Amino acid sequence: MLLEGSCQCGKVQFSVESETPYPFMNCYCSICRKLSGGPYGCNLMGKRETLKVKGEKYLREYHARVRTPGEKVRISEGQRFFCGECGSHLYLLDDRWDYGVWPNAAAIDTPLPVPPEDTRVHIMLAYKPDWVPVPETGRHCREYPDISIADWHEHHGLTVRGAVPPKKRATAKPAATKPAKQRAATKPAKRASSRKSAARA
């Protein structure tokens, strides 16, 4: 399905086709909380080849600082795009997984399908502050989940197939994003892919 999103001030608008549009995974890590400004972050996955952006000149890019106790602060390779005018976080790209776009569900204006309550996945709970509530239903993970966004949709039979007719896809103008400096020579491991889809750290 086509997901249309925008920032709060309206200067940046974007759209992307997604076969995996259910916002089922809530991440309570501090990166997601601080950058989304909410008690948890929730990302979807779309197809990068279909990403279109209006107001690109307002886009700014941030690379999250990943802090692990006892280790040096690491700068995430993920490109987090936000509006330079109003600060809304919009989507993430990562050239290590160059087929995807991970839109912030909160930036999407299109009404999203609602996941069945007991299928929601709550992750990175080890980093959740006490004041943030978590529903008792669903799956709870202390850190990374054991399921990717794509796997979850497949497992529950909720994958939205055939989102883009082949003809349209071929002519779709890809968003001008930074060219990949380095692309992974090999396909990422499934485990790594799961992590990527979930936490984007």
Write out the residues near Zn ion by the rule CB under 5 A: 7, 9, 11, 27, 29, 32, 83, 85-86, 199
CB of 172: closest distance to Zn ion in angstroms? Answer: 24
C-beta of 170: minimal distance to Zn ion in Å?
31
Tokens of 130: 């006490």
133/157 with CB nearer Zn ion: 133
Dihedral of the CA atoms 3, 117, 80, 183 (nearest 10)? -80
By beta-carbon proximity to Zn ion, the closer residue of 134 and 164 is: 134
Q: Considering the complex, state which of residue 9 and residue 66 has its C-beta at the smaller distance from Zn ion.
A: 9
In the bound complex, what is the minimum distance in angstroms from residue 84's beta carbon to Zn ion? 8
What tokens does 33 get? 């909380």
Contacts of 84 (CB under 8 A, 6+ apart): 58, 59, 60
Residue type, 197: S
* In the complex, least distance from residue 185 CB atom to Zn ion, rounded to whole angstroms: 27
Query: Which residue, 83 or 163, has its beta carbon nearer to Zn ion?
Result: 83
Q: Beta 25-27 vs 121-123: how paired, if at all?
A: parallel
Rounded Cα distance, 172 and 27, in Å? 32
